[in-house]
Amino acid sequence: MERMTPLLSASDLAIGHGGKALFQGIDLRLEPGRVLCLLGPNGAGKTTLFRTLLGLIPPISGRIMLGDDPLSRLSRVQIATRLAHVPQSLTTPFAFTALDIVLMGAAALLGPFSRPGPVEHQQAMIALSRLGIADLAQTEITRLSGGQRQLVLIARALAQEAGVLIMDEPTASLDFANRVQVANAIRQLAVAGTAIILSSHDPDQAAALADDALLLNRSGVIASGSAQEILTAENLSRLYGIPVRRERSTDGRLHFS
């Protein structure tokens, strides 16, 4: 069977800072509707990989492609039409409303001297609706819960109309209810065709959310492939350097301890 062209792919990638490689030999491909989760200890290089995929740090070697185009040949605006970044949290001292924040995503594709108009407004409202938070459009973000703010950040990325979302620990600072809400939103976006690459410190979450996983530590890529297959006790033990137990509950979910 012919394979689909991935929205984002990397082959034989070496990444690092100041020309010093943290890893080499990273291969990944992300097709529409797939969720890929990066797991690895603190300082492993997950953020460095994201920044490299976003074109903010040059790779040391290897190739990154957005569809059929090499990332290195695309302008920032062209990259923004394909890839959107969702940061860990939203901090701003200004009294922006949720709609203001999402409009920033819709406006990312405009020229430097253009202001968002009705088209961008509509795009922003559609993004808020897709995340079920259209009723919060006029609420100042300082009045929103951590989970609601995270949904606003995801809506901002959606309003950018990129096919791939890159999410750096999207549920890191959230309580249980907000984590469930954001995780459900991520799955719904994937069902609708968005491709998502995210990082997590929670193997249970990776098993529940992701189709594929990439396990990285300072020794390199420990494993890569189908999340259900590579999230084994043995691989996670190697990844974190501690004994790990894997259990499957009656509802089929994987749990690690």
Ligand X SMILES: Nc1ncnc2c1ncn2[C@@H]1O[C@H](COP(=O)(O)OP(=O)(O)OP(=O)(O)O)[C@@H](O)[C@H]1O
Binding region for ligand X (CB under 6 A): 17, 22, 40, 42-48
The beta-carbon contacts of 221-228 under 8 Å, at least 24 apart in sequence, are 221/23, 221/25, 221/26, 224/27, 224/28, 227/37, 228/254
H or E stretch covering 221 = strand 220-226
Measured from the CB atom, the residue of 45 and 55 that comes closer to ligand X is: 45
In angstroms, give the least distance from the CB of 71 to ligand X: 18
Measured from the CB atom, the residue of 46 and 179 that comes closer to ligand X is: 46
The phi, psi pair for 4, rounded to 5°, reads -70, 150
Measured from the CB atom, the residue of 218 and 255 that comes closer to ligand X is: 218
DSSP letter, residue 72: G
In angstroms, give the least distance from the CB of 81 to ligand X: 25
In angstroms, give the least distance from the CB of 10 to ligand X: 15
Closest alpha carbon to 162 in 30, 58, 73: 30
Amino acid at 180: V
Measured from the CB atom, the residue of 22 and 66 that comes closer to ligand X is: 22
In angstroms, give the least distance from the CB of 56 to ligand X: 10
